[in-house]
Homo-oligomer: A and B are copies of this chain.
Amino acid sequence: MVRIAVAGASGYAGGELLRLLLAHPDVEIGTLTAGGNAGSRLGEHQPHLLPLADRVLAESTPEELAGHDVVFLALPHGRSATLAAQLGDDTLVIDCGADHRLSDADAWDRWYGGEHAGHWPYGLPELPGGRDALRGTSRIAVPGCYPTVTSLAMAPALVAGLVAPDVVITAVTGTSGAGKSLKPHLLGAEVMGSLSAYGVGGTHRHTPEIIQNLTNACGRRVSVSFTPVLAPLPRGILASCSAPLAEGVDPSSVHEAYAKAYAGEPFVHLLPEGTWPATSSTLGANTVAVGVTVDRDANRLVAVAAIDNLTKGTAGGAIQCMNLALGIPETAGLSTTGIAP
């Protein structure tokens, strides 16, 4: 049994990690820690995790986290780096925050500010070379939720040269993506019955991460116009992505290219032509549902993809990477069955 700890267990990412780890056949749940909630029972913050209700949250210190095979960090951005530096290389540290995602120190400084903590192996196995980077590693940077779904929507088209490297994305998200933050615009009364855009014009911090993924995947500098939209549901992201069809590409070859790119992928579900994903099909599952077509009038390839932002978009993706790093079967503890309706 792999002994795991979770730092940030009272938040949304921490809660989803624990939900999935409770059903994982090969792990034993060790220490759970928190920031301001240290000292309280987990049941106060995660009443849905009945089997762990009476666990008391420890402080998020290296001492409390020591002695585990795997430590998941589900902390606010900027808090992981210092903590991780104090955990030995014999511990697999999996950072669900942003600290170790970007390889470019300038990009880090522009988008997050402050000193760059460096770049860890990136936890998106379905990207080209993704699995190789993870096997046997002791450090993993878990992707952001938007970069997960949008990179997987567009990478096959860019890798196969089906499109020009000018990607336009509008992605609609449920509100858990913002975490358990006490901000007025996240109140239920504000959120329900409303759709709102934010971070428009390339100002959302996930933009450089999407560019990095797609650029790495296809070997050309990719431009990305990214608009996030907040919608009234707790979980789920639906990403609408497109790019100009490259010259000479036969539109009827597009679906086949995606089918080839994702053949054998356990968690990518390419929908039949003419059908489109809904986030409800992925609720609580580690699935990415992808549909793709060509708009012949507009001469653009259009890919639409859906995930559960807390599962494949955060905690499920993290566990998939843990499995790969430790040599456990990649799908252990993860499901392709959603909860609906």
Q: Give a binary string over A249-292; 1 marks a CB under 8 Å from any B CB, 0 the rest.
A: 00000000000000000000100000011111111110100010
Residues of B within 8 A of A175 (CB): 187-189, 192
The answer to whether A298 and B225 touch across the interface, beta carbons within 8 angstroms, is yes
Q: Please report which residues of chain A, range 223-241, place their CB below 8 angstroms from some CB of chain B when the two chains form the complex.
A: 223-225, 227, 229, 231-238, 240
**A236–B193 touching, CB < 8 Å:** yes
Neighbour of A341 across the interface among B198, B234, B279, B298, CB < 8 A:
B234
Of the four ranges (under 10, 10 to 19, 20 to 34, 35 or more), the interface on chain A belongs to: 35 or more
Known contacts A231-B232, A304-B227; is A339 also within 8 Å of B196 by CB?
no
Bound CA–CA A280/B287 (angstroms) = 22
Knowing A223-B297, A339-B19, say if A187 contacts B195 (CB, 8 Å).
Answer: no
Docked CA distance A232–B175 (Å): 13
Question: Which residues on the B side are within 8 Å of A61 (C-beta)?
Answer: none
- Among A187, A229, A291, A299, the most chain B Cβ lie within 10 Å of the Cβ of A187
Cα–Cα, bound, A130→B338 (Å): 31
Cβ-defined contact, B194 with A300, below 8 A: no
Each complex incorporates copies of this chain amounting to: 4
Stretch from A47-55, A66-74, A77-85 contacting the other chain: A47-55
Asked if residues A201 and B293 are in contact (CB atoms below 8 Å), the reply is: yes
Is the CB–CB distance between A339 and B48 below 8 Å? yes
For the complex, what is the distance from the CA of A298 to the CA of B281, rounded to whole Å?
32
* B residues near A299, Cβ cutoff 8 Å: 223
User: 18 pairs across A/B with beta carbons < 8 Å?
Assistant: A48-B282, A48-B337, A51-B336, A172-B231, A182-B183, A186-B187, A186-B189, A190-B234, A190-B280, A192-B233, A192-B234, A193-B279, A194-B278, A196-B238, A224-B297, A229-B240, A234-B341, A284-B339
